[in-house]
Amino acid sequence: MTTEAAPKDKAVAAKRKTLPELLGQVDTREMFTRMLGKDADGFQQNIMTVYNSGLREAGCEPESIIAACAISASLGLSILPGLGQSCIVPYKDGDKVVAQWQIMVRGVIQLAHRSGQYKHVNAARVYEGQLLNYDEHKSLVKLRAEKKSDRVQGYYFWFELNSGLSMEFYWSAEKCIEHGLRFSKSFQKGSGKWAEDPEFVKAGSVKKWLAAKEHFLTEGSGADAMSAKTSVKNPLLKWGPLDTKIKETVQLDQAVIGVDGTPKYVDTTAEPAAPAKTYTAPPMTPSGDQPFPAEKIKWARDAAEKLGVSNEQFDAWIAAQPGDEHAKAEAATVAWKKVAAKQATAKDVFSVVETTSTPADNECGFKVSGAATTDFGGNPDCYIIRDTSDPVVKYYTDQEAVFKAAKAAQKDDRVLGVKWIEKPSGKNVVRWITQLAA
């Protein structure tokens, strides 16, 4: 049977078209033209550049190269590694070498910007000595500019939405490498980009590196590049609003696309898809990608009605919330988090308190020197905000939206406008923020 199969295999190999022949086919050219328009010719030239830079020498299957490049084309990302948006990597799959598509850190950030929902997106390496503190539960990172060396200690990622909501993340070098070992088959075997770093050689092995007290990576190494991408891609897919199509496409990272269009993750184990947890309403409402404000409010209203809150009560509560539609939708999301966490009932959360002797609000603006969670009068879900111009002055609130606005103002070094009243606290009187000022 071996002697009969050999000529057949040779015949199949002889019939296989080369990459230039595939690129010259009408259907291939039409496919890239539909995706890229007038830029299609330049993109196909880049395919040949990438091919001649290593894929040809590796014996990579031409069909898999076309399929991988088509993913980048569909997202409008460059495949030239020097631009840091996406790249095509040869990977040995059994007895053949196939092209694996990988998105890079600049590509992830590029897609976030294009969504139109982000005001700021920033990613940076954290060098030895720069990390002061990281509270993973509150997602608060404190860094300093001075560094002890150029060794990479971790990776910082921060984004702010147009609504003012912001989140920041820190992935240590150790966390990144543990992630790589968990999900990369080649890394588990001691090969691939994840395994490339002088620090591993210095330690003797990755296992010994992980067992050490301190963990650093070398900027520019394969492990550094994979860690930088992972520390941005994972938080963004999990928490950031992105178009559904983009999210699904980015999930093809490190996949090989078959001739039938089916993705095969030749180098990854079963890494769970990022949950669609993007500031949507609670689990009992419809799920999906980042909704419009009106959709958020509608979902919250429908869910509240199921728990005994009338539409009239909910509408009155929404009307009482300060700010525009985005701010009201964010307030609804924050309120539902309290209900989902069983911190309060839906009827209490969406109640509108009417008083006849409400003290008049004072209004002021100041630059924020710090904002943190605190316990106020036995309520642990409160926040303290400090004024840069007067360290003695402190403002308190129980509104998460105000806290996040304060954090955003501190980052942008801009004035935070608030309305506040005097509120008794033991023998003292404090400034209690009632709402954000317009």
**How far is Cα 326 from Cα 315, in angstroms, rounded to an integer?**
15
- Using a 10 angstrom Cβ sphere, with 0-12 exposed, 13-18 middle and 19 or more buried, the burial of residue 338 is middle
Phi-psi region of 284 (alpha: psi -120 to 50; beta: other; left: phi over 0): alpha
Number of continuous H segments (helices) and E segments (strands) in the chain: 17, 14
Say yes or no to pLDDT of 136 above 80: no
Structural domain 362-436, CATH architecture: Beta Barrel (2.40)
Q: Which of 224-233, 254-263, 333-342, 364-373 has the lowest mean pLDDT?
A: 254-263
∠ CA 378-383-386, nearest 5°, is 125
Q: Which of 156, 128, 161 is nearest to 140 (CA)?
A: 156
Q: Please give the model's pTM, rounded to 2 decimal places.
A: 0.54
Q: Are 31 and 74 in contact (CB under 8 A)?
A: no
Residue ranges, CATH 2.40.50, the chain: 362-436
Tell me the average pLDDT across 221-245: 85
Name the one residue in this structure whose structure tokens are 């092995």: 205
Q: Average pLDDT of the chain?
A: 79
pLDDT at 27 over 80: yes
The conformation of residue 132, written as its DSSP 8-state character, comes to E
pLDDT tens-digit series, residues 176-220: 999 989 888 788 888 888 999 999 999 999 999 999 999 999 999
Give the Cα-Cα-Cα angle 334, 159, 414 (nearest 5 degrees). 85
pLDDT, one tens digit per residue, over 358-415 is 455 788 888 888 888 887 776 777 888 988 877 677 888 888 888 888 888 888 888 8
Tokens matching residue 434: 């009632």
Task: Give residue 353's pLDDT.
Answer: 54
Pairing relation of β-strands 118-127 and 86-93? unpaired
CA distances from 152 to 43, 159, 268, 317 (A): 34, 21, 25, 48
Q: What is the 3-state secondary structure (H, E, C) of 34-64?
A: HHHHHHHHHHHHHHHHHHHHHHCCCCCCHHH
CA dihedral 59, 62, 67, 68 (to 10 degrees): 30
Q: Which tokens sit at 384? A: 């303290």
Which residues are CB-neighbours of 89 under 8 A, at least 6 positions away? 99, 100, 101, 102, 193
3-state secondary structure of 133: strand
pLDDT at 62: 92
pLDDT above 50 (res 2): no
Q: 64-68, 124-128, 174-178, 190-194 — which is least confidently predicted?
A: 190-194
At residue 286, does pLDDT exceed 50?
A: no
pLDDT score, position 283: 34
pLDDT surpasses 60 at 123: yes
Which residues have a Cβ under 8 Å from the Cβ of 394 and sit 6 or more positions away? 384, 385, 386, 387, 430, 431
Question: Is pLDDT above 80 for 18?
Answer: yes
Q: How confident is the model at residue 128 (pLDDT cuts 50, 70, 90)?
A: very high
pLDDT of residue 246: 67
Beta-sheet pairing, 379-387 with 394-397: antiparallel
Between CA 220 and CA 386 the distance in angstroms is 40
Find, among 84, 91, 52, 41, the residue nearest to 68 by Cα.
91
